[in-house]
Structure 1
Amino acid sequence: MVHGEYYDRVKSMTDEEAGKILKSRLGAEDYQKLIGVDNPHLHRFIASYVELCNPVKVFVSADSPSDVQYIREATIRNGEEAELAEKGHTVHFDGYHDQARDKAHTKFLLPKGVALGPEINAIDRDEGLKEIYQILKNVMSGHELYI
C-alpha cells in the first residue's frame, strides 16, 4: 500500500473498523484504557498504525504507577536499559553511531518544486512518505507497542 492509499485508509477508517481492530489486537484492560479516552480520531489513528506496524502486543499506559513500573521492567527485560546499584535507577547507552542525527540519511520531505539549497538533503514528499510507510509495514512484528 503506497502512502497515499495508506493515508486515505486512515482518513476513511470508520469508528466501527477502528473498534474492531483495537478490540482484536489489544487485551481487554488495554482496550478499556484506550477507549476511556473519548477521542474517535485518536482511536482511528492508533488502529491504523497498529494495523500497519503489526505489533505482537499493544500496551496502553494510563500513567498509573503500575503502568510506569511495567514499562520500566520491560526496558530491562528487553535489554534497552540496565539496572544501577541505586534502587529504581537504570542506565541507557546509545551506540557510537546513535549519538547524533545521521546527516547522510536524514532527509527533509518537500513538496514538488520546492528546494532548500544543495546543502539540504531533501526528497520529494510523496516519494519520502512512500519509503517511510514501506519501512513501517510490519516493523513491530514480534515486538510490543507502547502507547
Structure 2
Amino acid sequence: MRGYLKEIEDLTAYNDAALDPGTPYGDPWQLIYVFDGDKSTNVVCEGYAKAFQYLMDQSSFSGKIESYIVTGTMGGGTGEGPHMWNIVSIDGQNYLVDVTNSDTGTIGAPDKLFLVGNPTIKDGTQYFLDGESTTPMMGTPHRLTRRICFR
C-alpha cells in the first residue's frame, strides 16, 4: 500500500488554485487527473482519496483487507474544512490513510498520516493517535460524516 502512496504522489500534486476564494468546486474528473500523465491537471483531496481507492479495488491481498472513502471535516493539515480520505480495515482494525496530507510538503509528509491506526472516537471525531500518545496525531482530527463504498 505504501507503493500506492508513492505512485499517487509522483503522478499528481495538490491543486492550490482550488483554494482561491470564489473558485467553484465540482470537478468529476479528479480520479482521471491522477492517472492522465498531464502534470497540469492537479487534484484536491477527492482525487487523492479516489485514486487510492481505485488502486485498492484493483488489488488482491492475503487476509481481510477493505478500503473505504470517507468524507467529513478536518482540523488543520491542508486547511480546516471539508475533506476526503480513506480508512483501511485490516483484519478488523481500522487505519487512517490521508494521501493528501501525506504528500510532499504537507503536515503528514512523508507518511505520518498513512496507515495510522487505532482511532479514538469522541463526539463523532476520529483522533488517530501517534504510537502510545494520547494527543491527537499532528493536531488534525478528522470528523467523519459519511462513508462511501465503491464495490
Sort the TM-score into its range (normalised by shorter chain): under 0.3
1 or 2 for the larger relative contact order (CA 8 Å, sep ≥6)? 1
TM-score, normalising length: structure 2: 0.23
TM-score, normalising length: structure 1: 0.23
Of structures 1 and 2, the larger Rg is shown by 1
Greater helix proportion: 1
Greater strand proportion: 2
